[in-house]
Structure 1
Amino acid sequence: MADELPFWKTKTLARMSRAEWESLCDGCGRCCLHKLRDEDTEELVWTTVACRLLDTQSCQCRDYPNRRDHVPDCVKLTPRKLAKIDWLPPSCAYRLVAEGKDLPEWHPLISGDPETVHTSGASVRGRAVPERQARDLEDHLAEWPGTWPSPPGSR
């Protein structure tokens, strides 16, 4: 039926199938950017430095099924962990659904096109620095990864 609500509006994150859960990821790559946390204030600061497994053009993990073998501190996101995480970008679909919000128009589940996450300015494509090319994380601090995406040309 055309009037049927999409799964993310009818199911809790915990009740989603694995395929539904995985399809919520818009492929922006923002969660794969390194973040720094101040030891004293707990303030979170974003960088433009991408995890060594992130393909900065496609914004996909180069070895998603085995990522924790290569990057042991890579977080396997679950509904339980999501409740404790404060570093997901505001446009993250997992975060939005958990907060009872709708997905943005550029999300591939809405647009039907995985490229819209890139053309909308939501992804790290063209703005991320591969980890192996970055000498010092402090040289690559940025605010945009932790803010709502801006359309290209307005950045």
Structure 2
Amino acid sequence: MTASDPIRREGLRDLYWERVPLRNMTPREWEALCDGCGKCCLNKLEDPDTNEVAFTRVACRLLDDATCRCAQYDIRKTLVPECVVLTPANLAEIAYWMPSTCAYRLLYEGRPLYDWHPLVSGRAETVHEAGMSVKGWTVPEFEVDEDEWEDHIIEDL
């Protein structure tokens, strides 16, 4: 399957994201909510006084900038212990620092998915075509000292 091919919907109930509570989704349905934007893999800075979160262009060392997917998804926690594994159980605690366009956050907040989301459009590439992914503009974290992450803050994300 190439990025422009239709997404695979085997094992997914029709429009499940509109009807099934997040906590009742199957593992396959939960994983299919990810639009493949790569934004959650950007390093973030949080102001300890205000809890305001700023996204940076600095990406996790495992992010494949060409596909916007984790290069080692199945073993990411082993390689990057600080990686957050999103689950229905911890979503309430983490939703505030998820990207505003993230399907998990949208559904948690009771909002619909965007038309460019692959589950809606039927094609994985629409997230990139809509300019909603980090494809091609990140900087790997091993190239930037943590002291310099502020220089890479993204204003609109």
TM-score w.r.t. structure 2 length?
0.86
- Find runs of 4+ consecutive structure 1 residues off by over 4 angstroms: none
Which residue does 1:111 correspond to in 2? 121
Q: 2:26 aligns with which of 9, 14, 17?
A: 17
Q: 1: distance between equivalents of 2:106 and 2:14? A: 16
Which residue does 1:50 correspond to in 2? 59
Identity between Structure 1 and Structure 2 (%): 52
What letter is aligned with 1:17? T
Q: 2:111 aligns with which of 71, 82, 101?
A: 101
Which residue does 1:61 correspond to in 2? 70
| RMSD (Å) for aligned C-alpha atoms | 1.4
Unaligned runs of 5+ in 2: 1-12
TM-score w.r.t. structure 1 length?
0.87
Q: 2: distance between equivalents of 1:67 and 1:141? A: 24
Q: 1:123 aligns with which of 127, 133, 149?
A: 133
Which secondary structure does the structure 1 equivalent of 2:55 belong to? strand
Work out the number of aligned pairs and report it: 142
Unaligned runs of 5+ in 1: 146-155
Which residue does 2:8 correspond to in 1? none
Task: After superposing the two structures, state which structure 1 stretch, 79-88 or 130-139, moved more.
Answer: 130-139
What letter is aligned with 2:98? L
Q: 2: distance between equivalents of 1:105 and 1:13? A: 20
